[in-house]
Amino acid sequence: MHSDKGPVSLADISVRQGISLSYLEQLFAKMRRNKLVVSTRGPGGGYSLGGSPDQVCIADVINAVDEEMQIADKDVSNGSPSYEPCLTEQLWEELSAEIENYLTTISLADMMQNDEVQELSRAHDLRQNQPNLL
């Protein structure tokens, strides 16, 4: 949302989104390795998208940061000696696949054009620019 002003610092993202800087550093390192973002060093440095927002889907971002898109949390992996299939396992696997398929249809450009996302971005910007009165 702020890339038109040049690279965006993780500190700015941290403040705007209320996410710890150390966690953002971990996420962005993974996204950089997957070429979703590029870093710029020095004054005015930060991160920029590695490509066009219409070429990056939400599933790309989730997969890049190693977040598994599975609904069911299995206690024991398939293939282990104590594995027993759950009666609804296939249902959960199909739902997980549907969610991933759906997230491949939404690009960052789609998100940026969403009215609710734009409103949230404006609200975050206003809060960030307000003096702290405490």
- Asked if 69 and 47 sit in the same domain, the reply is no
Q: What is the mean pLDDT of each run of 10 residues along the chain (134 residues)?
A: 85 89 94 94 91 93 78 55 73 90 95 90 74 50
Position 6 in a domain: yes
φ, ψ for residue 52, nearest 5 deg = -75, 140
Could you tell me if residue 115 is inside a domain?
no
Asked whether residue 74 is domain-assigned, the answer is yes
Residue 36 forms part of a structural domain: yes
48 vs 28: CA distance, rounded Å: 10
Tell me the residue range of the domain where 39 lies: 1-51
Residue 70: per-residue pLDDT: 59
Give the chain's length: 134
Query: How many helical (H) and strand (E) elements, i.e. helices and strands, does the chain have?
Result: 6, 2
* 96 in Cβ contact with 70 (< 8 Å): yes
Q: Does residue 44 share a domain with residue 65?
A: no
**Strand, helix or coil for residue 9:** coil
39 with 63, same domain: the answer is: no
User: What region, left, alpha or beta, does residue 75 occupy, with left being phi > 0 and alpha being psi -120 to 50 degrees?
Assistant: alpha
Q: How many domains, the chain? A: 2
Amino acid found at 40:
T
- Residue 67 confidence (pLDDT): 62
Q: Which pLDDT score is estimated for 21?
A: 94
